[in-house]
Amino acid sequence: MRIFCDHRSGVSCVAMSCDGRRVVSRSVDRNVRVWDMETRAQVREASDGYRCGVISVAISEDGRRVVSGSLDKSVRVLDVETGAQAGASLVGHTHFVASVAISGDRRRVPSGSWDKSVRV
């Protein structure tokens, strides 16, 4: 078992890359952290720009993008290498975003919301 303890507040969501090499976590401290499972090192820490709760994260197959879904009804994509938001926020849900994913080619970002819809 590996334990990563560097968040300053409670962890609200976590996901693992398909290859099992990277783990992403998001905390109430508003930071996203990406961890390397092999070295146990933190690869990146960045703010995802949200001012409210994030309740879902996903990491791309190659570990280069992190997707997050929020109580503010939006979805954001973060570039792991730069720590910057990749493109504009994805909006359209009328209730909070409860689940997110990212396609293998990083071109599609499905999201599920309590508004009873899935958007891709």
Domains, in order of start, for the chain: 11-119 (2.130.10.10)
pLDDT band, residue 25 (cuts 50/70/90): very high
Total-model pTM: 0.86
The predicted structure's pLDDT at residue 15: 95
Sequence-distant (6+) residues with CB within 8 A of 17 are 23, 24, 59, 60, 61, 62, 63
Q: Give the pair of three-digit tokens for residue 74.
A: 């939006």
Q: What is the pLDDT of residues 32-45, one digit of tens each?
A: 899 999 999 998 88
**Range 70-77 average pLDDT:** 94
